[in-house]
Copies of this chain bind each other. A is one copy, B any other.
Amino acid sequence: MSSQLTGNQQAIRWHPPAYDIRVESVPIPKIEHPDDAIVKIKLAGLCGSDLHTYRGTEELTDALTCGHEFIGEVVALGESFHNGVTGRPDLYADLNIGDKVVSPFTVSCGECHFCRVGFTCRCVESRLFGTPTTPGGQAQYVRVPRAGGTLYNLRDIVGAAGTSQSEKEDVTKLADSSLLLLCDILPTGVFAAFQALNHPKTLPMMNSCPYPQSSSFARFALSSKVLGAEDVSLTFAIVGLGPVGLCACISLFDILTSRGADFRIVAIDPVEARREKMNAIISTIANKGPHLHSIAVASIDESKDIVEKWTNGLGCNAVLEVVGNTSALTLAYELVRPFGSISAVGVHSGNQIPFSGRQLYDKNVSFDFGRCPVRAMFPAALDILLRRQDVFGAVGGTASLVEKIVGFDEAADTYELFDKGKCGKVLFDPWK
């Protein structure tokens, strides 16, 4: 057992019923289970889904420590990390005090069927940080359950076989504010793009091969007809340009340009400030290529006209829905073409899905709902993080994803501004 820390720490705490954020002194967490790690927080993020708790929509009755995005350093480890049992996730043998780690926003054991298959957000022991059972990372220290399955050790990348020297150097150079984006919003954006690009209804355009031969198990294919340029031109929409929507757009753009695809993206948000941020990012990521005009930023009404014009009324091949409410889903349905797909990564509430079965049948629509399996998406997200440091690397620029880093003393004000849409992505430095 490693040395336990004692004493108190500062933490950002939410109090019921709603809109009540306080910085309080609470005990430093201790190892409670052999699989636990204690992480000393370097930076913690404020995320859009923190607002579900903040606004009281979760109807919680007890105060809790907020936050599910954090990067830090391992300062204590449970017994499992010293006994090297074979067959357990690698980190149980590899993780050491002093290692720099990024955490997904959910706990994953790394050992159940879902974890092994890569569906890590549906681990049978899944727990969300910043909830009543699992104190969050907007604190100076956090306890990470099942840490050998949950944490992502940045040393793994730097030391991985097959990683080039320049890649290792690139990773070690990344700022904490950049790496923090790996906890949730960048992998979730990558996941939204990934689902859209890999859907069997998108594959004919990506593979230049007609359906169903475009998919893996069309072994009965009788032809290998190659599609013409007109048919493989892709149109996507992204509904919602909060931080995750921005990440989804950058990821989609990055993957499509790296494949040399012929594509257009309409990025949609009703809020002007968010559209301005998106425009600044586009100017940054597309300024040297032929793709500056491949992305249009639009209000809801404008988006319908743009898609109509771009596609001669066919609609989008796929829509990335990054909001999580009924009107976003409705817009996604309106924009998608027949035999299109909707990748819905927004955190949805209890409202009923706003479509009839007939609407979905008549348009052959597909949906992929749900939470990003961050732990499994880390490598993909890190790859994009490294290549898009122009957007992910800086803090506070017009084209930067992270707007500012503040101390805990600004926590209450920051929650309030963020809730009102008056600031973008903010990180907390618990030692500032």
Contacts and interface: CB of A to CB of B under 8 A. Distances in A.
A380 interface: yes
A364 B370 contact: yes
A187 to B, nearest CB: 10
Given A216-B203, A227-B117, A231-B113, A210 B376 contact: yes
Contact of A200 (B114, B199, B348, B365): B199
A23 to B, nearest CB: 31
Contacts of A217: 194, 197-198, 206, 255, 259
Contacts of A363: 122, 369-370
A230 interface: yes
Contacts of A351: 356-357
Contacts of A118: 204, 210-214
Nearest to A356: B350
A197 B373 CA distance: 21
A66 B363 CA distance: 24
Contacts of A259: 217
A121 interface: yes
A258 B231 CA distance: 33
A383 B217 CA distance: 13
B339 A348 contact: no
Interface in A113-161: 113-114, 116-119, 121-122, 160
A280 B133 CA distance: 52
A352 interface: yes
Given A356-B350, A365-B369, A212 B380 contact: yes
A205 B117 contact: yes
B377 A371 contact: no
Interface stretch (A91-99, A218-226, A413-421): A218-226
A329 interface: yes
Contact of A352 (B212, B356, B371): B356
A189 to B, nearest CB: 14
Interface string A341-382: 000101111111111111011111111111101001101100
Given A162-B222, A338-B122, A358-B348, A227 B367 contact: no
Interface string A2-21: 00000000000000000000
Interface residues of A, number: 83
A314 interface: yes
Contacts of A294: none
Contact of A364 (B121, B160, B201): B121
A379 B380 CA distance: 36
Contacts of A352: 352-357
A288 to B, nearest CB: 22
A343 B338 CA distance: 16
A414 B199 CA distance: 41
B113 A314 contact: yes
A269 B364 CA distance: 25
Given A195-B200, A220-B384, 9 more contacts: A119-B201, A194-B218, A212-B376, A221-B379, A325-B357, A326-B357, A347-B361, A349-B358, A352-B353
22 contacts: A114-B339, A118-B214, A122-B364, A199-B200, A200-B200, A220-B380, A324-B361, A329-B357, A339-B373, A347-B361, A348-B358, A348-B360, A349-B356, A349-B358, A351-B356, A360-B369, A361-B371, A362-B370, A363-B369, A364-B370, A365-B370, A366-B366
Q: Which 6 A-B pairs have the closest CB atoms?
A: A348-B357, A364-B370, A118-B211, A360-B369, A122-B338, A118-B210
